[in-house]
Amino acid sequence: MTIPEPEGADLKPSYIEAGQPFNRDTHYIEDRLTRDARDGWPVEPGRYRLVAARACPWANRTAIVRRLLGLEGVISLGLPGPTHDKNSWTFDLDPGAVDPVLGIERLQQAYFARFPDYPRGITVPAIVDVPSGRVVTNNYPQITIDFETEWVEYHRAGAPDLYPVALRAEIDEVAELIFHDVNNGVYKCGFAGSQKSYERAYDTLFARLDWLEERLATRRFLVGDTITEADIRLFTTLARFDAVYHGHFKCNRNKLTEMPVLWAYARDLFQTPGFGDTIDFEQIKRHYYVTHSDINPSGIVPKGPDARGWLEPSGREALGGRPFGDGTPPGPPLPAERVPSL
Protein backbone atom coordinates (compact mmCIF):
# COMPACT_ATOMS: atom_id res chain seq x y z
CA MET A 1 0.00 0.00 0.00
CA THR A 2 1.01 3.63 -0.42
CA ILE A 3 1.49 5.79 2.65
CA PRO A 4 0.43 9.44 2.11
CA GLU A 5 3.04 12.10 2.64
CA PRO A 6 3.06 13.34 6.23
CA GLU A 7 1.12 16.42 7.26
CA GLY A 8 2.40 16.34 10.82
CA ALA A 9 3.09 13.38 13.08
CA ASP A 10 1.69 12.68 16.53
CA LEU A 11 5.20 12.04 17.82
CA LYS A 12 7.55 14.92 17.15
CA PRO A 13 9.93 17.09 19.19
CA SER A 14 7.49 20.02 19.33
CA TYR A 15 3.72 19.75 19.37
CA ILE A 16 3.05 23.46 18.94
CA GLU A 17 3.54 25.39 15.72
CA ALA A 18 3.74 29.09 16.45
CA GLY A 19 0.84 31.06 15.06
CA GLN A 20 -1.02 27.97 13.86
CA PRO A 21 -3.97 25.92 15.11
CA PHE A 22 -3.33 22.28 15.95
CA ASN A 23 -4.08 19.94 13.03
CA ARG A 24 -4.14 16.23 13.81
CA ASP A 25 -2.68 13.92 11.21
CA THR A 26 -5.53 11.51 10.47
CA HIS A 27 -3.84 9.56 7.67
CA TYR A 28 -3.57 6.11 9.19
CA ILE A 29 -2.65 2.69 7.86
CA GLU A 30 -6.10 1.72 6.64
CA ASP A 31 -5.74 -2.06 6.38
CA ARG A 32 -8.46 -3.96 8.21
CA LEU A 33 -8.73 -7.35 9.89
CA THR A 34 -11.87 -8.86 8.38
CA ARG A 35 -13.64 -12.19 8.02
CA ASP A 36 -13.16 -12.13 4.25
CA ALA A 37 -9.51 -11.02 4.55
CA ARG A 38 -10.13 -8.32 1.93
CA ASP A 39 -6.86 -6.58 2.84
CA GLY A 40 -4.93 -9.80 3.34
CA TRP A 41 -5.44 -9.91 7.11
CA PRO A 42 -8.01 -12.54 8.12
CA VAL A 43 -9.77 -12.66 11.47
CA GLU A 44 -7.69 -15.32 13.23
CA PRO A 45 -7.46 -15.95 16.99
CA GLY A 46 -3.99 -15.70 18.46
CA ARG A 47 -2.42 -14.14 15.39
CA TYR A 48 -2.49 -10.45 16.32
CA ARG A 49 -1.30 -8.28 19.18
CA LEU A 50 -2.97 -5.03 20.16
CA VAL A 51 -0.38 -2.49 21.32
CA ALA A 52 -2.25 0.05 23.43
CA ALA A 53 -0.59 2.33 25.99
CA ARG A 54 -2.66 2.97 29.12
CA ALA A 55 -1.88 6.67 28.87
CA CYS A 56 -3.36 7.27 25.42
CA PRO A 57 -7.10 8.02 25.07
CA TRP A 58 -7.26 6.68 21.52
CA ALA A 59 -5.63 3.41 22.61
CA ASN A 60 -7.82 3.29 25.72
CA ARG A 61 -10.88 2.89 23.47
CA THR A 62 -9.53 -0.33 22.01
CA ALA A 63 -8.68 -1.75 25.44
CA ILE A 64 -12.22 -1.06 26.65
CA VAL A 65 -13.88 -2.66 23.63
CA ARG A 66 -11.57 -5.68 23.86
CA ARG A 67 -12.59 -6.10 27.52
CA LEU A 68 -16.31 -5.62 26.96
CA LEU A 69 -16.40 -8.13 24.10
CA GLY A 70 -14.21 -10.69 25.85
CA LEU A 71 -11.49 -10.75 23.22
CA GLU A 72 -8.63 -11.05 25.73
CA GLY A 73 -7.99 -14.68 24.84
CA VAL A 74 -8.17 -13.97 21.12
CA ILE A 75 -6.11 -10.79 20.70
CA SER A 76 -3.18 -10.31 23.09
CA LEU A 77 -2.33 -6.94 24.60
CA GLY A 78 1.04 -5.19 24.60
CA LEU A 79 1.44 -2.29 27.01
CA PRO A 80 4.09 0.36 26.27
CA GLY A 81 5.16 2.64 29.06
CA PRO A 82 3.52 6.03 29.57
CA THR A 83 6.27 8.12 27.96
CA HIS A 84 8.01 8.10 24.61
CA ASP A 85 10.65 10.07 22.77
CA LYS A 86 10.39 11.67 19.34
CA ASN A 87 10.84 8.28 17.66
CA SER A 88 8.55 5.78 19.29
CA TRP A 89 6.61 4.29 22.17
CA THR A 90 8.80 1.86 24.11
CA PHE A 91 8.13 -1.28 26.16
CA ASP A 92 9.98 -0.11 29.24
CA LEU A 93 7.42 -1.67 31.61
CA ASP A 94 8.28 -5.19 30.44
CA PRO A 95 11.25 -7.24 31.73
CA GLY A 96 14.35 -6.16 29.87
CA ALA A 97 12.28 -3.39 28.23
CA VAL A 98 11.27 -5.87 25.51
CA ASP A 99 7.72 -6.82 24.53
CA PRO A 100 7.47 -10.49 25.54
CA VAL A 101 5.46 -11.53 22.46
CA LEU A 102 6.89 -9.34 19.71
CA GLY A 103 10.45 -9.34 21.01
CA ILE A 104 10.95 -5.64 20.25
CA GLU A 105 11.99 -2.66 22.36
CA ARG A 106 10.17 -0.03 20.31
CA LEU A 107 6.85 -0.08 18.50
CA GLN A 108 8.71 1.67 15.70
CA GLN A 109 10.33 -1.68 14.88
CA ALA A 110 6.96 -3.18 13.93
CA TYR A 111 6.19 -0.20 11.69
CA PHE A 112 9.60 -0.37 10.02
CA ALA A 113 9.27 -4.14 9.56
CA ARG A 114 6.47 -3.38 7.12
CA PHE A 115 7.38 0.11 5.90
CA PRO A 116 11.17 0.67 6.22
CA ASP A 117 10.78 4.36 5.44
CA TYR A 118 7.50 4.97 7.29
CA PRO A 119 7.25 8.76 7.38
CA ARG A 120 4.47 9.36 9.90
CA GLY A 121 4.03 9.21 13.66
CA ILE A 122 4.50 5.86 15.41
CA THR A 123 1.10 5.88 17.09
CA VAL A 124 -0.93 3.70 19.41
CA PRO A 125 -3.16 1.79 19.24
CA ALA A 126 -1.58 -0.46 16.66
CA ILE A 127 -2.37 -4.00 15.60
CA VAL A 128 0.72 -6.10 14.90
CA ASP A 129 0.82 -9.40 13.04
CA VAL A 130 2.75 -11.62 15.46
CA PRO A 131 4.19 -14.16 12.96
CA SER A 132 5.71 -11.48 10.73
CA GLY A 133 6.23 -8.77 13.36
CA ARG A 134 4.69 -6.24 10.97
CA VAL A 135 2.21 -3.55 11.86
CA VAL A 136 -1.21 -4.13 10.26
CA THR A 137 -3.09 -0.96 11.14
CA ASN A 138 -3.12 2.02 13.48
CA ASN A 139 -6.52 3.25 12.32
CA TYR A 140 -8.01 3.49 15.80
CA PRO A 141 -11.61 4.46 14.84
CA GLN A 142 -11.83 1.42 12.58
CA ILE A 143 -10.11 -0.97 15.00
CA THR A 144 -12.95 -0.79 17.53
CA ILE A 145 -15.65 -1.01 14.86
CA ASP A 146 -13.98 -4.12 13.46
CA PHE A 147 -13.69 -5.67 16.92
CA GLU A 148 -17.45 -5.14 17.20
CA THR A 149 -18.49 -6.31 13.73
CA GLU A 150 -15.79 -8.59 12.26
CA TRP A 151 -14.81 -10.58 15.37
CA VAL A 152 -18.38 -11.49 16.39
CA GLU A 153 -17.65 -15.23 16.19
CA TYR A 154 -15.13 -14.82 19.01
CA HIS A 155 -17.09 -12.52 21.31
CA ARG A 156 -17.69 -13.89 24.79
CA ALA A 157 -21.10 -15.25 25.73
CA GLY A 158 -23.15 -12.26 26.88
CA ALA A 159 -21.06 -9.69 25.01
CA PRO A 160 -22.98 -6.44 24.46
CA ASP A 161 -23.81 -5.08 21.01
CA LEU A 162 -21.77 -1.89 21.03
CA TYR A 163 -22.61 -0.93 17.46
CA PRO A 164 -26.23 -2.01 16.85
CA VAL A 165 -27.31 -1.79 13.23
CA ALA A 166 -30.45 0.22 13.94
CA LEU A 167 -28.47 2.92 15.79
CA ARG A 168 -25.32 3.14 13.68
CA ALA A 169 -26.24 6.33 11.86
CA GLU A 170 -26.92 8.16 15.13
CA ILE A 171 -23.85 6.68 16.83
CA ASP A 172 -21.68 7.83 13.93
CA GLU A 173 -23.21 11.31 13.95
CA VAL A 174 -22.76 11.81 17.70
CA ALA A 175 -19.26 10.32 17.65
CA GLU A 176 -18.20 12.65 14.84
CA LEU A 177 -19.31 15.72 16.81
CA ILE A 178 -17.53 14.46 19.91
CA PHE A 179 -14.33 13.76 17.99
CA HIS A 180 -13.98 17.22 16.48
CA ASP A 181 -15.14 19.25 19.47
CA VAL A 182 -14.13 17.17 22.51
CA ASN A 183 -11.75 14.25 21.82
CA ASN A 184 -9.60 16.34 19.50
CA GLY A 185 -10.91 19.63 20.89
CA VAL A 186 -8.82 19.36 24.06
CA TYR A 187 -5.71 18.91 21.89
CA LYS A 188 -6.67 21.93 19.81
CA CYS A 189 -6.63 23.91 23.04
CA GLY A 190 -3.42 22.42 24.42
CA PHE A 191 -1.40 22.58 21.20
CA ALA A 192 -2.75 25.87 19.85
CA GLY A 193 -0.04 28.08 18.39
CA SER A 194 -1.92 31.36 18.81
CA GLN A 195 -4.31 33.00 21.25
CA LYS A 196 -7.01 33.16 18.58
CA SER A 197 -6.89 29.46 17.71
CA TYR A 198 -6.80 28.54 21.40
CA GLU A 199 -9.86 30.63 22.25
CA ARG A 200 -11.77 29.29 19.26
CA ALA A 201 -11.06 25.70 20.30
CA TYR A 202 -11.84 26.50 23.95
CA ASP A 203 -15.23 27.98 23.10
CA THR A 204 -16.10 25.06 20.81
CA LEU A 205 -15.05 22.51 23.43
CA PHE A 206 -17.18 23.94 26.21
CA ALA A 207 -20.15 24.58 23.93
CA ARG A 208 -20.11 20.88 23.09
CA LEU A 209 -19.69 19.86 26.73
CA ASP A 210 -22.71 22.01 27.58
CA TRP A 211 -24.61 20.27 24.77
CA LEU A 212 -23.63 16.89 26.21
CA GLU A 213 -24.63 18.00 29.71
CA GLU A 214 -28.09 18.79 28.37
CA ARG A 215 -28.36 15.65 26.24
CA LEU A 216 -27.43 13.34 29.11
CA ALA A 217 -29.64 15.01 31.70
CA THR A 218 -32.59 12.78 30.79
CA ARG A 219 -30.89 9.74 29.25
CA ARG A 220 -28.33 7.43 30.77
CA PHE A 221 -26.31 6.83 27.60
CA LEU A 222 -25.58 8.85 24.50
CA VAL A 223 -27.52 6.75 21.98
CA GLY A 224 -30.27 4.32 22.89
CA ASP A 225 -30.58 2.75 26.33
CA THR A 226 -27.33 0.75 26.37
CA ILE A 227 -23.61 1.46 26.19
CA THR A 228 -22.45 1.97 22.61
CA GLU A 229 -19.31 2.94 20.71
CA ALA A 230 -20.29 6.60 21.22
CA ASP A 231 -20.05 6.33 25.02
CA ILE A 232 -16.66 4.66 24.84
CA ARG A 233 -15.30 7.44 22.64
CA LEU A 234 -16.50 10.17 25.00
CA PHE A 235 -15.46 8.38 28.19
CA THR A 236 -11.73 8.23 27.46
CA THR A 237 -11.56 12.03 27.17
CA LEU A 238 -13.70 12.64 30.24
CA ALA A 239 -11.51 10.27 32.27
CA ARG A 240 -8.49 12.48 31.54
CA PHE A 241 -10.20 15.85 31.83
CA ASP A 242 -9.47 16.94 35.40
CA ALA A 243 -6.18 15.05 35.67
CA VAL A 244 -4.68 16.54 32.51
CA TYR A 245 -6.78 18.64 30.15
CA HIS A 246 -8.11 21.17 32.68
CA GLY A 247 -4.65 22.40 33.67
CA HIS A 248 -2.10 21.07 31.22
CA PHE A 249 -4.19 21.90 28.12
CA LYS A 250 -5.76 25.08 29.60
CA CYS A 251 -9.32 23.71 29.30
CA ASN A 252 -10.13 25.53 32.50
CA ARG A 253 -13.59 27.09 32.29
CA ASN A 254 -14.55 24.43 34.79
CA LYS A 255 -13.56 20.94 35.87
CA LEU A 256 -15.50 17.82 34.96
CA THR A 257 -16.41 17.53 38.64
CA GLU A 258 -18.17 20.90 38.30
CA MET A 259 -20.50 19.65 35.55
CA PRO A 260 -23.01 17.58 37.54
CA VAL A 261 -24.51 15.56 34.68
CA LEU A 262 -21.28 14.74 32.83
CA TRP A 263 -19.48 13.98 36.10
CA ALA A 264 -22.21 11.53 37.15
CA TYR A 265 -22.27 10.02 33.64
CA ALA A 266 -18.49 9.55 33.67
CA ARG A 267 -18.59 7.94 37.13
CA ASP A 268 -21.38 5.61 36.02
CA LEU A 269 -19.20 4.36 33.18
CA PHE A 270 -16.02 4.27 35.28
CA GLN A 271 -17.75 1.95 37.75
CA THR A 272 -18.96 -0.32 34.93
CA PRO A 273 -16.69 -3.36 34.42
CA GLY A 274 -14.50 -2.81 31.37
CA PHE A 275 -14.13 0.95 31.82
CA GLY A 276 -12.49 2.01 35.09
CA ASP A 277 -10.45 -1.18 35.19
CA THR A 278 -8.55 0.06 32.11
CA ILE A 279 -7.68 3.47 33.61
CA ASP A 280 -4.31 4.19 35.21
CA PHE A 281 -4.31 7.82 36.31
CA GLU A 282 -0.62 7.86 37.21
CA GLN A 283 0.40 6.68 33.74
CA ILE A 284 -1.98 9.20 32.18
CA LYS A 285 -0.48 12.12 34.10
CA ARG A 286 3.09 10.98 33.53
CA HIS A 287 2.51 10.73 29.78
CA TYR A 288 1.18 14.23 29.28
CA TYR A 289 3.30 16.14 31.79
CA VAL A 290 6.59 14.44 30.88
CA THR A 291 6.20 13.92 27.13
CA HIS A 292 4.88 17.40 26.31
CA SER A 293 8.04 19.22 27.29
CA ASP A 294 7.12 22.25 25.16
CA ILE A 295 4.10 22.77 27.42
CA ASN A 296 5.65 21.57 30.69
CA PRO A 297 9.44 22.03 30.40
CA SER A 298 10.04 21.21 34.08
CA GLY A 299 8.63 17.71 33.64
CA ILE A 300 6.98 17.96 37.05
CA VAL A 301 3.96 15.63 37.36
CA PRO A 302 1.19 16.89 39.65
CA LYS A 303 0.19 14.75 42.63
CA GLY A 304 -3.51 15.52 42.29
CA PRO A 305 -6.35 15.43 41.77
CA ASP A 306 -7.63 12.84 44.25
CA ALA A 307 -9.09 10.14 42.03
CA ARG A 308 -11.17 8.46 44.73
CA GLY A 309 -14.15 10.60 43.77
CA TRP A 310 -14.58 8.33 40.74
CA LEU A 311 -15.89 5.68 43.13
CA GLU A 312 -18.72 7.81 44.53
CA PRO A 313 -22.21 6.58 43.54
CA SER A 314 -23.50 8.25 40.38
CA GLY A 315 -27.25 7.79 40.85
CA ARG A 316 -27.60 7.35 37.08
CA GLU A 317 -29.52 4.10 37.52
CA ALA A 318 -32.61 6.24 38.16
CA LEU A 319 -32.63 7.15 34.46
CA GLY A 320 -33.17 3.52 33.50
CA GLY A 321 -31.21 1.97 30.69
CA ARG A 322 -29.34 -1.29 30.73
CA PRO A 323 -25.57 -0.92 30.37
CA PHE A 324 -25.10 -4.28 28.62
CA GLY A 325 -28.55 -4.64 27.09
CA ASP A 326 -29.42 -8.32 26.98
CA GLY A 327 -25.81 -9.19 27.71
CA THR A 328 -23.72 -9.41 30.86
CA PRO A 329 -20.71 -7.62 32.35
CA PRO A 330 -17.25 -8.94 31.49
CA GLY A 331 -15.32 -10.92 34.07
CA PRO A 332 -12.36 -9.49 35.96
CA PRO A 333 -9.29 -8.35 34.01
CA LEU A 334 -6.50 -10.81 33.35
CA PRO A 335 -3.96 -10.67 36.22
CA ALA A 336 -1.26 -9.22 33.96
CA GLU A 337 -3.63 -6.48 32.77
CA ARG A 338 -4.87 -5.16 36.12
CA VAL A 339 -4.44 -1.48 36.89
CA PRO A 340 -3.76 -0.05 40.38
CA SER A 341 -6.89 0.32 42.47
CA LEU A 342 -7.96 3.78 43.66
Distance, in Å, from the CA atom of 104 to the CA atom of 133, rounded to the nearest integer, reads 9
Q: At what angle do helices 281-291 and 229-240 cross, to 10 degrees?
A: 70
251 is catalytic: no
Residue of 56, 202, 245, 251 with catalytic role: 56
Distance, in Å, from the CA atom of 206 to the CA atom of 256, rounded to the nearest integer, reads 11
Residue 82, preceding peptide bond in cis (omega within 30° of 0): no
56 is catalytic: yes
Residue of 48, 111, 140, 187 with catalytic role: 187
SS3 129: strand
- The verdict on whether residue 89 carries a ligand-binding annotation is yes
Give how far Cα 328 sits from Cα of 61, 92, 273, Å: 19, 35, 10
Distance, in Å, from the CA atom of 73 to the CA atom of 196, rounded to the nearest integer, reads 48
In the structure, how many helices (H) and strands (E) does the chain have? Answer: 9, 4
Dihedral sign computed on CA atoms, order 37, 40, 41, 44: positive
Distance, in Å, from the CA atom of 275 to the CA atom of 260, rounded to the nearest integer, reads 20
| Residues annotated in a binding site | 89
Provide the annotated active-site residues: 56, 187
| Residues annotated in a binding site for glutathione | 89
